[in-house]
Amino acid sequence: MRPIVTWGLRNRLGRIIQPDGHAVMLAVDHGYFMGPTRNLEDPRKTITPLLPYTDSLMITRGALRNCVDATATVPVVLRVSGGVSILSEDLSKEQVTTSVRDALRLNASAVAMSIFVGSPHEHQTLVGLGELVNECEEVGLPVLAVTAVGKELEKRDARYLGLATRLAAEMGAHIVKTYFCDNFRKVVDGCPVPLVIAGGPKLNTEQDVFQLTYDAIHDGAVGVDMGRNIWQNDHPVAMIQAVRAIVHDGASVREAADRFKHRKDGKRGKK
**Domain ranges in the chain?**
2-202+224-235
Supply the angle between the helices 253-270 and 206-218 in degrees, to the nearest 10. 140
Which residues of the chain register pLDDT less than 70? 1-5, 150-155, 267-271
pTM given for the model: 0.92
Condensed to tens digits (0 to 9), the pLDDT of residues 152-200 reads: 666 679 999 999 999 999 999 999 999 999 999 999 999 999 999 999 8
Report pLDDT for 270.
34
pLDDT at 152: 62
Among the listed residues 93, 151, 155, 177, the single catalytic one is 177
Q: Supply the pLDDT for residue 72.
A: 96
Q: Indicate if 177 belongs to the active site.
A: yes
In this predicted structure, what is the pLDDT of residue 150? 58
The DSSP code sequence of 15-42 is: HHS-TTS-EEEEE--THHHH-S-TT-SS
Task: State the amino acid at position 216 in one-letter form.
Answer: A
For the structural domain made of 2-202+224-235, what CATH number should be given? Answer: 3.20.20.70
